[in-house]
Amino acid sequence: MTERLIVVLGDQLTPQISSLRGGDKERDVVLMCEVWEEATYVRHHKKKIAFIFSCMRHFASELRKEGWTVDYRTLQQTGRSSSFTGEVHGAVLRHEPQRIVVTTPGEWRVLQDMRVWPERFKVPVDIVEDDRFVCSPAEFATWAEGRKQLRMEFFYREMRRKTGLLMDGDGPVGGRWNFDRENRKAAKPDLLMPRPLRFTPDTITQKVLSLVAERFSNHFGDLEPFWFGVTREEAEQALVHFVTTTLPRFGDYQDAMLEGEPFLYHSVLSIYMNVGLLDPLDVCRRVEAAYRSGQVPLNAAEGYIRQIIGWREFVRGIYWLKMPDYVEENYFGHRRTVPEFYWTGETDMACLGAAIGQTKREAYAHHIQRLMLTGNFALLAGVSPQALHEWYLLVYADAFEWVELPNTLGMSQFGDGGVLASKPYVASGAYIKRMSNYCASCRYDVAKPYGPDACPFNPLYWAFLDRHREKLAANPRMAQMYRTWDRLSDERRSLTLASAEVFLDKLDADTSPEKAAPAVDSDDIADTIVRLCTERGQGKTLCPSEVARALVDNDDQWRDLMPDVRRVAGTLAAQGRIRVSQAGKLVDAASARGPIRLSLAPQKKSRSRFS
Ligand code: FAD
Ligand code: DLZ
Ligand code: SF4
């Protein structure tokens, strides 16, 4: 009989991961599974699925070489309706383990599913901490407690002290914690650009590429050329390549953007760190060593280390501190759907065309493109942070909810009202012109403030500030912008606002009706829930997606309606008209994460069954 069934997920590909550490190669079985639900709960970029599946298959063979018994289930074996829970169930039947061990997943949704496993499988489940981070969620919560504001810079100093990275006794090396002032140079096209290391797909990767091409052809993005590393050795080579060729200028050009240069001086290592092929702390130590041996300047080393032990750790702390409510936050009440061109890359705006085009090709855009191009535009245009969150989660190969959600909803959309950022990251075309060379080849004129040829970022920027004055004017960091806006003539202001409106109307008209966010009345949702539950019959359940699909007759729209269906279901449950359950237990529709089921409220005599 198997002692432990050790479940290893697609972003837990670290031989020393906590779930494996206490394991026994003679008596335990490792379960790894490619499952449909993980690949499709958002329609991930084809390259991302291929990357994860190939890394998983290589990791399984690495574990087998080390003597582990691995029960690896390919997508061909698990099939179209597979999920983690279904696969673990199958493995429990096959191996009859005495307990299940798994490292805490990176998504709240998956953790909620796991919490049901003990009762479902009648086997104890140890969900052990993911200690591949410098700061645990508990430590972050302690740090955050009692603070009026959570600011990365102060958290980062703590992490420097804790790790000893770039420390000189009790103080920072070089006398300053942060060398960002030196890191805002605009890149010149004639600079000699390094490129991330590329790898040729081996036979395992080639098989995965065929699988993804066959099964996920309707997903976003280009599958090939596929050049990501998929093993620990390849990730290590990519790290060495970065430190020796690219890191020296990472700091200088961290905020720059350049036409035809998707990677600039960025490391393209997040994919490897996020799935577990590189240890983030080890990466930082190697960067520090490069500084201490004189290979790279301090502004580069400090800037890079701050991204990892500062931002990466900080956003994870926020995620676990604020979930599950965080994902629903929408400070500005933005409702617009993701513009059509975010899916096609076809736009006259040269900067966005470049960022989205490379996102399609590479499943990668660097930070400033994500923040100041696609993020900035979406915020100015009033795109729903939830819709945008889904977009970012599916388009980037490094996107896992713990890191993507706080960056999107918090940093980029200010959807949390300032938990993560002290002010919205919004900018007009002037910023983009300063930091890039996109404007030179754009059909729009970055110098024009309004009118049909004006750079759309310009009127949208002022219209955004004007629209949200009540929420933003009191923020001291925004005061100067409001003063500038108020100094403009009435005529100039109204021409600017009109220009923004014309642009947004056109944006809406260009968004295909299939993708437009459905507007369905709450009463209609309530009627449909009750009707479908009644049709299904007493004691039978249905999925909220069935309600959403019944309300909109389009394959893409129903997802956008899901938050509303859950909200209305919660109201109906509070009124005692229906019940909302998860794995047979009554739950609160608003706070429950993971799949819920709806059913008619039981008649009085059967009510005791659930009490
Ligand atoms: P580099 O520029 O070389 O930076 C070095 C490393 O620092 C990265 O590999 C990454 O591990 C870390 N890092 C840098 N900035 C951040 C940050 N803000 N948060 C967390 N880690 C950071 N990063 C992800 O890993 N996954 C995501 O899904 C993700 N979504 C984002 C969404 C938005 C809207 C924004 C604005 C940022 C997002 N980021 C995300 C952060 C950042 O853009 C990426 O980490 C970075 O672009 C990855 O490329 P790189 O490895 O070349 O990074
Ligand atoms: C993202 C992803 C995808 C596409 N597929 C799988 C999979 O088939 N099997 C798996 O174990 N993990 C996958 N993942 C990663 C999981 O979604 C990830 O573990 C959760 O998002 C938790 O971070
Ligand atoms: Fe982007 Fe505006 Fe410049 Fe065009 S003019 S590239 S839209 S910032």
DSSP codes joined into one string, 175-186: G-S--GGG--PP
Q: Look at the alpha carbons of 207, 210, 214, 218 in this order and tell me if their dihedral is positive or negative.
A: positive
CA of 367 to the centre of ligand 1 (A): 6
Q: Is 310 in the pocket of ligand 1 (CB under 6 A)?
A: no
Q: Give 253's pLDDT tier (boundaries 50, 70, 90).
A: confident
**Which residue minimizes the CA distance to atom 1 of ligand 3?**
351
- Tell me the best of 195, 393, 394, 398 to mutate to test the pocket of ligand 1, counting ligand atoms within 8 Å of each CB and taking the most: 398
**pLDDT of 189 higher than 80:** no
* 47-66 pLDDT tens trace: 999 999 999 999 999 999 99
Angstrom CA distances, 424 to 229, 306, 384, 414, 481, stand at: 35, 21, 15, 5, 12
Distance of alpha carbon 370 from alpha carbon 349, whole angstroms: 15
Model pLDDT, residue 512: 62
Distance of alpha carbon 61 from alpha carbon 370, whole angstroms: 35
* Stretch 488-498: mean pLDDT: 97
**pLDDT of 611 higher than 50:** no
Q: What angle do CA 83, 89, 93 make, to 5 degrees?
A: 145
**Which residue minimizes the CA distance to atom 22 of ligand 1?**
312
Distance of alpha carbon 168 from alpha carbon 191, whole angstroms: 34
Three-state SS at 45:
coil
Picking from 41, 32, 9, 12, the residue whose alpha carbon sits closest to that of residue 393 is: 41
Distance of alpha carbon 75 from alpha carbon 44, whole angstroms: 15
Residues 402/353, Cβ–Cβ less than 8 Å:
no
**pLDDT of 93 higher than 50:** yes
Burial class (CB in 10 A: 0-12, 13-18, 19+), 490: exposed
CA of 12, closest atom in ligand 2: 19
Residue type, 569: A
Q: Is 455 in the pocket of ligand 3 (CB under 6 A)?
A: yes
CA of 564 to the centre of ligand 1 (A): 31
CA of 445, closest atom in ligand 3: 5
Q: Give 564's pLDDT tier (boundaries 50, 70, 90).
A: confident
Tokens standing for residue 299: 């502004």
Instruction: Characterize 457-476 residue by residue with b for buried, 16 or more Cβ atoms within 10 angstroms of its Cβ, and e for exposed.
Output: bbbbbbbbbebbeebbeeee
* Stretch 91-102: mean pLDDT: 97
Model pLDDT, residue 121: 95
Model pLDDT, residue 553: 63
CA of 556 to the centre of ligand 3 (A): 30
Burial class (CB in 10 A: 0-12, 13-18, 19+), 346: exposed
Picking from 184, 313, 188, the residue whose alpha carbon sits closest to that of residue 258 is: 188
**Which residue minimizes the CA distance to atom 2 of ligand 3?**
455
Strand partners, 126: 101
Sequence-ordered strand ranges (E) for 531-575: none
Count other Cβ atoms within 10 Å, centred on residue 492.
14
Q: Give 207's pLDDT tier (boundaries 50, 70, 90).
A: very high
CA of 265, closest atom in ligand 1: 3
Q: Is 270 in the pocket of ligand 1 (CB under 6 A)?
A: yes
**pLDDT of 418 higher than 50:** yes
Model pLDDT, residue 610: 27
Higher pLDDT, 567 or 146: 146
Q: Give 166's pLDDT tier (boundaries 50, 70, 90).
A: very high
Distance of alpha carbon 606 from alpha carbon 602, whole angstroms: 6
582 φ, ψ to 5°? -140, 125
- Tell me the best of 6, 7, 8, 11 to mutate to test the pocket of ligand 2, counting ligand atoms within 8 Å of each CB and taking the most: 11
Model pLDDT, residue 608: 30
Distance of CA 607 to the CA centre of its chain: 41
Residues with CB under 6 A from ligand 2: 9-11, 33-35, 38-39, 44, 49, 52, 105-107, 110, 400
Residues 7/23, Cβ–Cβ less than 8 Å:
no
**pLDDT of 94 higher than 70:** yes
Nearest ligand for residue 456 CA: 3
| Stretch (H or E) spanning 312 | none
- Tell me the best of 259, 433, 445 to mutate to test the pocket of ligand 3, counting ligand atoms within 8 Å of each CB and taking the most: 433
Per the document, the length of the chain is: 611
CA of 35, closest atom in ligand 2: 8
The residue with tokens 């993560």 is: 420
**pLDDT of 136 higher than 70:** yes
**pLDDT of 402 higher than 70:** yes
Distance of alpha carbon 301 from alpha carbon 174, whole angstroms: 12
Three-state SS at 128:
strand
Model pLDDT, residue 584: 78
Count other Cβ atoms within 10 Å, centred on residue 425.
16
CA of 401 to the centre of ligand 1 (A): 12
CA of 352, closest atom in ligand 3: 1
Do you find a cis peptide bond into 225, omega within 30 degrees of 0? yes
* 404-417 pLDDT tens trace: 999 999 999 999 99
* Stretch 436-451: mean pLDDT: 96
* Mean pLDDT of all residues belonging to the chain: 92
Maximum mean pLDDT: which of 154-158, 176-180, 524-528, 575-579: 154-158
Q: Is 342 in the pocket of ligand 1 (CB under 6 A)?
A: no
**Which residue minimizes the CA distance to atom 4 of ligand 2?**
39
Do you find a cis peptide bond into 262, omega within 30 degrees of 0? no
Residues 525/483, Cβ–Cβ less than 8 Å:
no
* Stretch 231-235: mean pLDDT: 98
Q: Are strands 167-168 and 125-128 parallel, antiparallel or unpaired?
A: unpaired
Distance of alpha carbon 189 from alpha carbon 257, whole angstroms: 10
Q: Is 349 in the pocket of ligand 3 (CB under 6 A)?
A: yes
Q: Is 327 in the pocket of ligand 3 (CB under 6 A)?
A: no
Tokens standing for residue 247: 């890191």
Distance of alpha carbon 239 from alpha carbon 181, whole angstroms: 26
* Stretch 228-237: mean pLDDT: 98
Q: Is 265 in the pocket of ligand 3 (CB under 6 A)?
A: no
Distance of alpha carbon 350 from alpha carbon 457, whole angstroms: 12
**Which residue minimizes the CA distance to atom 7 of ligand 3?**
349
**pLDDT of 137 higher than 90:** yes
CA of 349 to the centre of ligand 3 (A): 6
CA of 246 to the centre of ligand 2 (A): 30
Q: Give 188's pLDDT tier (boundaries 50, 70, 90).
A: confident
Distance of alpha carbon 520 from alpha carbon 406, whole angstroms: 28
The residue with tokens 């389009």 is: 554
4 φ, ψ to 5°? -125, 140
DSSP conformation class of 86: H
Higher pLDDT, 326 or 576: 326
Model pLDDT, residue 541: 86
Give the whole-number percent of the chain exceeding pLDDT 70: 94
Q: Are strands 578-582 and 597-600 parallel, antiparallel or unpaired?
A: antiparallel
Strand partners, 582: 585
Residues 437/189, Cβ–Cβ less than 8 Å:
yes
* 313-341 pLDDT tens trace: 999 999 999 999 999 999 999 999 999 99
Strand partners, 99: 4
Q: Give 194's pLDDT tier (boundaries 50, 70, 90).
A: confident
* Stretch 366-383: mean pLDDT: 98
- Tell me the best of 132, 270, 342 to mutate to test the pocket of ligand 1, counting ligand atoms within 8 Å of each CB and taking the most: 270
**pLDDT of 609 higher than 60:** no
